Chain A
Amino acid sequence: NAGVTQTPKFQVLKTGQSMTLQCAQDMNHNSMYWYRQDPGMGLRLIYYSASEGTTDKGEVPNGYNVSRLNKREFSLRLESAAPSQTSVYFCASREFLAFYEQYFGPGTRLTVT
């Protein structure tokens, strides 16, 4: 099993450009999450999807949109990137009954100039 995969690994955008970060998991997990981590900080939840067909806002949703494409895939879209969105983005997934354990991907390092 690959676990949680994220693409791309690195990305540089100019202010105002848009892009979509992709996340996929092969563990048949119901719940999926998007976090961002700024330098020297902990992770902050952007959006999550408790199950296929549902999405909910986390702590810092402004400037982002998400799509739960199917049970495996959960994408994060930046419509108009801003320098404040420079960060490392982590995707995670969780089995419904194992509420305590989220599995994280390797992250996408995004720089907005």
Chain B
Amino acid sequence: DAKTTQPPSMDCAEGRAANLPCNHSTISGNEYVYWYRQIHSQGPQYIIHGLKNNETNEMASLIITEDRKSSTLILPHATLRDTAVYYCIVSGGGGNKLTFGTGTQLKVEL
């Protein structure tokens, strides 16, 4: 599976959009991009996934560049409850082998 690179930490003001970048320059054609988050040592929570096209759901938007070498997770109106570690994962193993790196610690502040 492709390796991902994320900044170790980011801050965001409450109510503003949080844009979390992820680099996955070695991604291959059949690999998906997944985003999960982990709030304060709880079990991780799925957010969104995509292959080529941009995706949006009730939690977030996922923007994947045309060459698929990087992506951005967007939380449109961050709240204090969005403070968490966000993991960008690239995997083609049919969803069985997700490799969680160290992620980005997002801190949402007043």
Residues of A within 8 A of B (CB): 4, 31, 33, 35, 40-45, 48, 50, 56, 58-59, 88, 90, 92, 94, 99-107
B43 to A99, Cβ gap below 8 A? no
Q: Is the CB of A42 within 8 A of B102?
A: yes
Q: Indicate if the CB atoms of B101 and A42 lie closer than 8 Å.
A: yes
**Shortest Cβ gap from B64 to chain A (Å):** 14
Q: Which residues of B contact A104 (CB under 8 A)?
A: 42-45
Query: Which listed residue (B45, B49, B95) contacts A94, Cβ 8 A?
Result: B95
List 18 A–B pairs whose Cβ atoms lie within 8 Å, in order of A's numbering.
A4-B43, A41-B102, A42-B99, A42-B101, A42-B103, A45-B98, A48-B97, A56-B96, A59-B97, A59-B99, A100-B95, A101-B46, A101-B49, A104-B42, A104-B43, A104-B45, A106-B43, A107-B43
**Contacting pair B49 A100 (CB below 8 A):** yes
Q: Please measure, in the bound complex, the distance between the C-alpha atom of A107 and the C-alpha atom of B39, giving whole angstroms.
A: 13
A42, B44: Cα distance in complex, Å? 10
Alpha-carbon gap, A104 to B37, bound state (A): 11
Q: In the assembly, what is the distance between CA of A48 and CA of B98, in Å? A: 11
Complex Cα–Cα for A35 and B36 (A): 15
Check if B29 is an interface residue, CB within 8 A of chain A: no
Q: How far is the CB of B5 from chain A (nearest CB, A)?
A: 13
A residues less than 8 Å from B44 (CB atoms): 43, 90, 102, 104
Name the residue among A31, A94, A102, A106 with the largest chain B CB count within 10 angstroms: A102
From 25 to 68 in chain B, residues with beta carbon under 8 angstroms from any chain A beta carbon are 32, 34, 41-46, 49
Query: Given B32, B34, B41, B87, which contacts A88 in the complex, CB threshold below 8 Å?
Result: B41
Name the 9 nearest CB pairs between A and B, nearest first: A104-B43, A99-B95, A42-B100, A100-B49, A43-B100, A101-B46, A42-B101, A90-B43, A104-B44
